[in-house]
Structure 1
Amino acid sequence: MRNLTALLLSLGFASPALAASGPFFSLHNTNFVVLIAFLVFVGVLFYFKVPGMIGGALDNRAVGIKAELDEARALREEAQTLLASYERKQKDVQAQAERIVAHARTDAVAAAEQAKADLEKSIVRRLAAAEDKIVSAQTAAIKAVRDQAVTIAIAAANDVIAKQMSAAEGNKLIDGAIAEVDAKLH
């Protein structure tokens, strides 16, 4: 490596650090010229109050960041308040839903009991109606049997009377029936 550096130096490839030769306070010395340019640059920056502007800009930025942080804290607190409010509302709604479900269950039980009672009443009414129909049918059957028996008895009595009665007795009965009707009509 040393051989390579010595070779490059001997060929004329010198670095800028090696170019500064001679007295330091000379304008031919690049290190001195760079130092003076740097000091002038820093002086110009101080003359135009650039550090103060940079500090002010940084202060303004810090104030802006602080304001944003305060706003973010306020928003966070507001969000937490809203969250707590919504959680309370959710609990209230859930409790209300549970009350509604419980009320609906009791209403359903009451409606089922009412339907059962109505069904029992309906069954009792239908049974009573059926019993009335049975009694009516029995009465009608008994009447029909009696009517038939009366018809048969009248026919039998007619036959018996017709066989045993003479014409004179028949005329006597007819005259008695006419007299009886005449007495009842007048």
Structure 2
Amino acid sequence: MLQDSTFWVLVAFVLFFAGIFYLKVPGKVLGQLDERAARIKKDLDEAEKLHQDAQHLFAEYQRKQRNALKEAEEIVAAAEAEAKALFKETEADLKISLERRRKQAEDKIAQAEKQAVQEVRDTAVEIAVAAAGAVLSQSLQGPAAAAQIDRAIGDVKAKLH
């Protein structure tokens, strides 16, 4: 039996396993596997927490983006309303200004017309007085005629003015 190789393989096999159990290799291997499993679980838990944080931040940024878009729309709407109000105000001011200038132009035209009529009357009076003086001076002669002419010129001036 000592010469049988199967016997020695069995002895070596038993001694090998006895040494393994004596040195507590299975416990150490299991301990290392447990440690590795615990590290992997810890890493997975941390990854899950980071994933949840990322989802939370993403949702918050989406909410902020929606709020920013809403605020931008409100700003644009307010600017449009202000522009419309400014346009209406400017249009009203322009109408008032144009009406005032039209009135000023009409007043100037009326004043110029009045002045022109007055100048025509004054010129007509001067011409009538000169013509009356010429007619009377030709038809009347002497000192009585001069008094009569002066009186008639005075009457014409008084009636025409």
TM-score scaled by length of structure 2: 0.70
Deviation at 1:96, TM superposition (A): 2.0
- The corresponding residue for 2:31 is 56
| CA–CA separation in structure 2 for the residues paired with 1:49 and 1:58 | 14
Is 1:67 paired with 2:9?
no
What is the total number of aligned residue pairs between the two structures?
148
Query: Quick one: structure 1 residues 122 and 46, their matched pair in 2 at CA, closer, same or farther if it must change by over 3 Å?
Result: same
Q: Which segments of 5 or more consecutive residues in structure 2 lack a partner in the other structure? A: 149-161
Q: Does the 8 A contact of 2:20 with 2:26 survive in 1?
A: yes
Question: What does residue 6 of structure 1 align with?
Answer: none
Deviates more, 1:109-118 or 1:57-66: 109-118
CA–CA distance in structure 2, aligned partners of residues 154 and 33 of structure 1? 171
Identity among equivalent positions (%) equals: 43
1:47 is the counterpart of 2:47 = no
Aligned to 1:84: 59
CA 1:124–1:43: 2 relative to 1, 3 Å: same
Higher relative contact order, structure no. (Cα contacts within 8 Å, ≥ 6 residues apart):
2
3-state DSSP of counterpart to 2:35? helix
Residues 9-158 of structure 1 aligned to structure 2 (within 5 Å):
25-26=2-3, 29=5, 32-158=7-133
Give unmatched runs, 5+ long, in structure 1: 1-22, 174-186
**Considering only CA atoms, is the larger Rg found in Structure 1 or Structure 2?**
1
What corresponds to 2:157 in structure 1? none
CA distance in 2, matches of 1:95, 1:53: 62
TM-score, with normalisation over the residues of structure 1?
0.62
Change (3 A) 1:57 1:138: same
